């Protein structure tokens, strides 16, 4: 299984599907290491197995990760650009093993955007069971609307077997989204990088791929399994 997964990773790498190939490389190496541990209990053959697998691990990881041991990709979204829906940004990182998501954003005010993000997680192919949201309170009259809206989203997610945990902080400033498969995405404007639609019946109101964006930068990192063995 490990060899087949690494083979698939090479195919994805050659096809320039680098994010998917990275995940396959890591999963394949993990499977190979598990097999080595299982065969290393007998005799001297286990030592040779371990040496070979370490060489494979070093060769693969050495080419994928940057010098600081982390994968990093940056995407610049220009002013008024279209084609940057949540699905386009996040879908390739939402593998089937994703079950937990963390969203840290001090300014979750447009709850419809956060709802669309949750809908994407519910549709899969990931199997999300828990979403953690850390944000700040909306000051003034919008606070009641914010808390009641988040409570409504929480109740709706429950119908799909997903738990939404909401916490508030007055000191957070950074914006980042993390998946428990190791991917971390930082968007300069958080989830609210879309411009307001011109009207409820204008193009882009429902389809976020057609919604113009505000200029922002998206940084993608992978931090899991990056230590050299």
Is residue 187 a contact partner of residue 218, using CB atoms and an 8 Å limit? yes
Model confidence pLDDT, tens digit, residues 84-116: 999 999 998 998 899 999 999 999 888 999 999
- What residue spans define the domains of the chain? 1-37, 71-225
d(CA 154, CA 174) in angstroms, rounded, equals: 23
Record the pTM. 0.69
CA distance 39 to 103: 41
For the stretch 208-227, pLDDT in tens is 999 999 999 999 998 754 34
Closest CA to 84 of 74, 71, 75: 75
Separation between Cα atoms, residue 37 and residue 49, nearest integer Å: 9
| Sign of the alpha-carbon torsion through 30, 31, 36, 41 | positive
Tell me the CATH number for domain 71-225: 3.30.870.30
């Amino acid at each position: 299984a490990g060899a087949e997964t690494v083979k698939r990773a090479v195919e994805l790498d050659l096809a320039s599907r680098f994010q998917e190939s990275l995940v396959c490389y890591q999963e394949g190496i993990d499977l190979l290491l598990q097999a080595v541990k299982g065969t290393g209990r007998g005799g001297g053959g286990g030592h040779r197995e371990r040496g070979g697998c370490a060489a494979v691990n070093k060769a693969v990881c050495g080419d994928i990760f940057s010098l600081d041991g982390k994968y990093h990709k940056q995407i610049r979204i220009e002013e008024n650009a279209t084609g940057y829906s949540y699905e386009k940004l996040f879908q390739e990182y939402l593998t089937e093993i994703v079950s937990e998501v963390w969203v840290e954003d001090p300014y979750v005010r447009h709850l419809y955007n956060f709802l669309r993000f949750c809908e994407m997680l519910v549709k899969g192919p990931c199997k999300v069971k828990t979403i953690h949201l850390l944000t700040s309170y909306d000051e003034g009259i919008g606070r009641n609307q914010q808390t009641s809206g988040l409570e409504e989203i929480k109740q709706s997610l429950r119908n799909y077997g997903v738990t939404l945990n909401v916490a508030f902080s007055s000191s957070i400033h950074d914006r980042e989204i993390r998946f428990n498969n190791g991917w971390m995405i930082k968007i300069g404007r958080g989830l609210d990088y879309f411009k307001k639609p011109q009207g409820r019946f204008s193009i882009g109101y429902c389809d976020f791929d057609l919604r113009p964006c505000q200029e922002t930068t998206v940084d993608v990192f992978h931090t899991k399994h990056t230590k050299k063995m």
